[in-house]
Structure 1
């Protein structure tokens, strides 16, 4: 990190020695249209992916917390894709969502008579399609929610049930407040992960169509390992670090009113 911080102020192509250029890298970066385009695409992805990941992971964790036959198998099946290579998962989704011969579009047409969208080949649907891929990538988030659900005090739910509270009301008034620290943790981790999205675009779309999946880290990768502009890439990396750090602080500050901590209640 320290070396990359020093390289921010240099022109460095790996072959020759770094040349000090001061703030030129940052000056050029803030005038670069691709910088703003890649940042916009990444933020757009994050705005969709973070709530989608949190909500779907929580819902699936609640479902997998129910006592049903084959519970352990179901948990394993959902978590398993999370430990598979991101490249392999990306190839799988590119096949599932292929507009010509993909399984999803075939089912939409055969069952409902609907012509499926272009998914990764359309500018309008490429980012939502990559968000949909989170269904098989959020197993880690689900496991954290599942562990938190299993640690909730049963006596609270028993008391609420005796008072006549419905399951939906217990979920809203007991489960969610007690899970709020875990929701905060998973939200921060999801924000950090979504702002560093890379593999899906690199494997499936190569930043297309029309630069609409050209994420910030993909741009950083191109700058560093295709153009060998290491000083410029280091400046990009530190801008990303500053954005992630700022968003993390904002999220923590904004959570104080909505996050319930058990030790605070005991005080």
Structure 2
């Protein structure tokens, strides 16, 4: 954890604290020996366009590409997904497992910013993303095709939807305290009451299939079936075989998905004033 210019690290030996930069995002690299920290601790004006790669054994700090928000690991291993957010468009980018993120030549291009960390299904077939800054959307994409198969708006309340895959379904918390069970293949949803009026603020799935749901000052455990044994190794291999490594310069040429939401809202407000 990083805050107020100090970095806190928990290990089996206890808690250690050191002076250092206050990063906005931290994630362990898939190799387990590297900490990815964003933005870069450099005092250069371009620091927000880079990240630090910290070797946990030596403390050596290297330089890495830009990412933000969070890092999700595919259940089969071998691949991670993260975000490169911008007000006009956000990229969901993918990198093979390794000490440094080396992004590939296929990405999801999403409108606006303000998304949550991507979530993979237990079988590796789907990727869900909640957000953005303007809509409480839950979008589901096939993997490795990256084709969108579902988009659900969870309401006008500004509480960000919390999502997790578990027990063969996608679960989304709602502002009214219910938990929506979404069958992605059938495009069907059933709501289950969990909290009395308090919004669901977090949903997580254990490897054994149980769901952990938080809302208000309560924490609820819900039983569920374990995920399928196939975590999708072939899908990861297919994705990596069909893509190549790209540089930061390549991302500058990615087209945005039409007129961004912030501009459409600004145009509407200007017209109303006018």
TM value normalised by structure 2: 0.24
Query: Which structure is higher in RCO with an 8 Å CA cutoff and minimum separation 6?
Result: 1
TM value normalised by structure 1: 0.25
Structure number with higher strand proportion: 2
Based on CA coordinates, which of the two structures has the bigger radius of gyration?
1
